A = this chain, B = another copy of it.
């Protein structure tokens, strides 16, 4: 940690700061420049995290050097994490997750129909929401446990692992009985109690990036889960807020190599929620694979027009199959493969 002092800081202020740091059991290195004095702090930097050094008179700026996350960091684990989500599907290390399905579980028959289509198209993980975080209290909120049962049932029949969102720490035990992967939605990325709760399970977690979260924020949220003992975290980029309303959100693909440089965790890209526009989804899915993503999350519906939630952003099954075929080719250029889900 580096402490930059104000130009007119007094020797007494400098002494006070140095003493404060020494009192924490750390060493200092004071460097007097022509215009500024800076103090390097040597020792376990974490001791300083909660100390409000910027509040000390004479201090202009405090520059942290070490990353605030540990377990999620590439320095802690240099090799890529590979996460086994069941049915022979691994995510990371050259093996791509193809997550597909409707926004919400609407019924057994329609889900089974969609699941057949997406598995035939190349999907290896089935998604579907039973608890839906809707902006309006008057919108369809999901089928709840009934939806979970349908999802589990269809996943078993189609021999696919399933992923579904959990929104409330009180739902974790319930959802845990039905799902293979927990999804934490963007709006809950900093719902720290929910993160801690899924961190105490043994299930893989798909952690979606908040709409205004930095890459560091996202990795800190992963750290929350991992600090509880659950290391199976998959990051997910799904678009951030922007000034251009021509897309629903702004897909930030640079987070793929950015996160992979900082962390060993796999990262999935969701172009459906990011763009909200079926005409842009295929190009963005291909770009994500080329950027090095470990998986692609796409909403698919057999009849978007009738979907109860987020229909307009879904691809039709034929469109999905076509883009997976292209993604497979791009992945092949980088020696990556799309595993096929099968009975456990």
Contact = CB atoms under 8 A, between A and B. Distances in A.
Interface of A: 2, 4, 7, 20, 29, 31-36, 38, 40-46, 49-50, 52-56, 61, 63, 65-66, 68-69, 75, 133-140, 167-170, 187-188, 190-194, 196, 211-212, 214-217, 220, 223-224, 227, 240-247, 250-254, 256-258, 261, 274-275, 279-280, 283-284, 286-292, 304-312, 314, 326, 329-330, 333
Contacts of A196: 137
B246 A214 contact: yes
Nearest to A16: B305
Contacts of A244: 214-215, 252
A55 to B, nearest CB: 4
A42 B33 CA distance: 5
Nearest to A2: B2
Contacts of A257: 279-280, 283-284
Contacts of A191: 167, 187-188, 191
Contacts of A44: 34
Contacts of A214: 243-246
A45 B35 contact: yes
B137 A227 contact: yes
B223 A137 contact: yes
A329 B30 CA distance: 46
Contacts of A35: 45, 65-66
Given A170-B170, A253-B287, A312-B55, A38 B2 contact: yes
A304 B31 contact: no
A75 B6 CA distance: 11
Contacts of A326: 333
Contacts of A275: 254
Given A191-B188, A211-B212, A333-B330, A52 B310 contact: yes
Given A52-B304, A191-B188, A307-B55, A7 B75 contact: yes
B333 A220 contact: no
Nearest to A60: B65
Given A38-B40, A137-B227, A330-B330, A287 B291 contact: yes
A136 B223 contact: yes
Contact of A311 (B32, B52, B61, B170): B52
A115 B312 CA distance: 48
